[in-house]
Amino acid sequence: MIMSTIEEKLQAVRRSIAQAATEAQRPPESVTLLAVSKTFGADAVLAAAAAGQTAFGENYLQEAIDKIAAVRLALPQTVLAWHFIGPIQSNKTRPIAEHFDWVHTVEREKIAARLSEQRPDGMADLNICLQVNISGEASKSGVSPSDLPALARAVAQLPKLRLRGLMAIPEPQTDPVLQRAAFAQLRVLYEQLRADGLPLDTLSMGMSADLQAAVLEGATIVRVGSAIFGARDYS
């Protein structure tokens, strides 16, 4: 039952992405669906993988490490991409550097430097997105837009990291016009960095409630959890 439900929900999300991409005159394959599997077990990831999903996002480090190991044991021949999308504490950088393919939440040079130092030899460069506090919320993580260019230049120089782009979680809005306005701000920052010579290719923005607006404004990764896996139980 869990597999059929997740497969159906994945198909619905993919249709929403394709519809928004077509409206934006973009190919649907230009948008990567990141299935946010935090709080859900390895069985949910395996069901999504069976339905063709290959990229998964996790917020909670120990839960993620256990889940990655369980999924790899069950699917030893299947290559999945694991994205860390939670806040990063200095004492957690080593396991993040050792277990993940992408990190979306870098907001300080110190954290990036630790990820660079702790990325094991022989692994591919760790893909990095810089988290921008686009709405200026005091409770939100992220570098300020004014401090972004200096951080981007510093991170781009670090070995074993590949700076891919920007990520943001704007203040929630129900009005699609306001949703698009926030995402447009991030896109402008992204385009400015590209114009300055940084070879960025990734805009990680949009979640279950606003992915259409994000795709219309250029998202290349949308992070969707509840629309795929259902409501979360944080107890």
**Domain limits of the chain?**
2-229
Cα Rg, the chain, nearest whole Å:
17
Average pLDDT, rounded, for the chain? 95
Which residue in 105, 118, 112, 186 sits closest to 151, CA to CA?
112
What lies within 8 Å, CB to CB, of 212 at 6+ separation is: 16, 19, 20, 176, 206
User: CA–CA separation, 206 vs 219, rounded Å?
Assistant: 7
- What pLDDT is recorded for position 1? 47
Is residue 150 within 8 Å of residue 137, measured between CB atoms? no
Mean pLDDT for the stretch of residues 174-202: 97
For helices 109-118 and 148-156, give the axis angle rounded to 10 degrees. Answer: 10
Fold of 2-229: TIM Barrel (3.20.20)
- What pLDDT is recorded for position 186? 98
- What pLDDT is recorded for position 22? 97
In which residue are the tokens 């990229």 written? 55
Which residue in 60, 110, 62 sits closest to 85, CA to CA?
60
User: CA–CA separation, 7 vs 152, rounded Å?
Assistant: 37
Whether pLDDT at 2 is above 90 = no
Tens-place pLDDT, residues 101-127: 999 999 999 999 999 999 999 999 999
Whether pLDDT at 4 is above 90 = no
Tens-place pLDDT, residues 90-102: 999 999 999 999 9
For helices 148-156 and 176-195, give the axis angle rounded to 10 degrees. Answer: 50
Tens-place pLDDT, residues 24-69: 999 999 999 999 999 999 999 999 999 999 999 999 999 999 999 9
What lies within 8 Å, CB to CB, of 197 at 6+ separation is: none
Burial class (CB in 10 A: 0-12, 13-18, 19+), 234: exposed
Q: How confident is the model at residue 219 (pLDDT cuts 50, 70, 90)?
A: very high
Whether pLDDT at 139 is above 80 = no
